[in-house]
Structure 1
Amino acid sequence: MKQLEHFDTIYQRAAERKGGESHLERLLSTPLRKDEIAVISDDRWLSAFSMKVFQSGMAWKVVRNKWPNFEELFFGFKIDPLLMLSDEQWETKATDKRIIRHNSKVMSILANAQMIHEVRIEHGSLGKMIADWPMDNLTDLWLYLKKHGQRLGGNTGPYALRQMGVDTFLLSGDVEAYLRAYKIIEGGRDTKRSLSQCNQAFAHWQHQSGRSLTHISQIIAFSCGDNRIIQ
């Protein structure tokens, strides 16, 4: 790992590229507090995970436009009714013309409902587990979702967490390129070593800046790559 840039340097470069500090600050999204995360119901987590699974490899707008149909067909993503469906009922839902018909993605809804059910037994709810997760080991939460869920690896799980307001950095194309330039990520992006070094780097910048992981991640993205102010 190279010596890291001071966060103030990253911030000033991002501000310059985005037309000043006030413009940059308006672009940042603020995560929810832990107590707000803890009370999010399990059905909303399953809906968010499922949406990101379907958006993977597809136009996000197309999936969003169809999502009310998904909510209706899958009982508002309530865990218990979904777990009571038979194999034949799942097969019927996977071919329903009101949604995007993709059998393996539809079946990931069942697998992730089962994961959330298991978490609920141990922790009370998925929201409580995520709220209690140590942020200095954030990528272990990503790996948990990948291991125990279905189709939640790569950026899918982290993007769903961000959508739900969880304070998380993202390894978007711009952020990953920056981290590779400083040898924070070397070789495989999702190796234990790379993810550990990402945790350490973001903890370092958080100590310097006092900002959320979400803000730090967004500011890094705005400081490099293809991000430019729209005139």
Structure 2
Amino acid sequence: MSKAKHSDISVSAEAFASLYDRVCKRKVSEAMVQELISKPASDKEILSISDDRFLAEFTKKVFQSGFVWRVVRQKWPDFEEVFFGFDIDKILLMPDEMLEQKASNPAIIRNFNKVKTIRENALMIDDVRRQHGSFAKFVASWPKDDVVGLWEFLKKNGARLGGNTGPYALRMLGIDTFLLSRDVEAYFVEHGLITGSVRSKRSLKTIQDTFLTWQQESGLSFQELSQIVSYSCGDNYVGMAN
């Protein structure tokens, strides 16, 4: 495990070495931990993501929010067909009548409010690509130490991309981000690092600063660190034999 000088960020969190040691004990061995965690995509891989794939993943996560993920996955090939493979230019040309018609197609999940987000998020992506060349270039150039800022951009400029929806879409696309899963949230609450809403500005700053400190101590990505934190508390089922 690579080491870096301890950050001067003032965050009262346990040292990464202590956290990692506890996770290795919970999962029996370091080898098991390394088998369970995954790495984000490289900058080169991120730059290769086309705008339609960003729109597709945003849409998938919008429909999965509050719904059975399995059903969305089963219907996804139909979503791709109905919405022109999420081609941004074709989506933007759809008049209201066509959008409403597609929302009533039984091949997809018929939720007009969620279907409307497809065009709204296509508009966001189009605005960004006009300024940056592509949405991928925009994301790749975003400051690596401001994950929460990227979440906030998606929430403010996109449709239904707040909460965990936007962050989970970024993770699925390979973009390095920590996630506020139930176990990660529980860790920060149980260790007294945050109180009140996990989504308050103060809580988000504390969480981001903590991950930055751990990153400097370990040399790991936010994705790896987030998974390690999630395995440090809660039910210890993942990777364990029945």
TM exceeds 0.5?
yes
1:128 aligns with 2:120: no
Deviation at 1:2, TM superposition (A): 6.9
* 1:230 alignment partner in structure 2: 241
Matches within 5 A, 1:1-231: 3-228=12-237, 229-231=240-242
Larger % of helix: which? 1
Structure 2 distance, partners of 1:66, 1:29, is 27
Amino acid at match of 2:241: I
Per-residue deviation, residues 115-164 of structure 1 (Å, max 9, x unmatched): 00000011111111111111211101000000000000000000000000
Q: Percent identity?
A: 51
Conserved in 2, the CA contact under 8 Å of 1:38 and 1:129? no
Which structure 2 residue ranges, 5 or more long, are not aligned? 1-9
Deviation at 1:5, TM superposition (A): 0.9
Structure 2 distance, partners of 1:230, 1:59, is 26
Report runs of 4+ in structure 1 exceeding 3 Å deviation.
none
Structure 1 distance, partners of 2:187, 2:12, is 13
RMSD (Å) for aligned C-alpha atoms: 1.3
Count of residue pairs brought into register by the alignment: 231
Structure 1 distance, partners of 2:160, 2:81, is 22
Amino acid at match of 1:194: S
Give the SS at the match of 2:146: helix
Amino acid at match of 2:78: N
Which structure 1 residue ranges, 5 or more long, are not aligned? none
Amino acid at match of 1:91: E
Deviation at 1:91, TM superposition (A): 0.4
Conserved in 2, the CA contact under 8 Å of 1:185 and 1:194? yes
Give the TM-score, by structure 2 length. Answer: 0.92
Amino acid at match of 2:102: K
Give the SS at the match of 1:136: coil
Conserved in 1, the CA contact under 8 Å of 2:11 and 2:209? no
Amino acid at match of 2:104: T
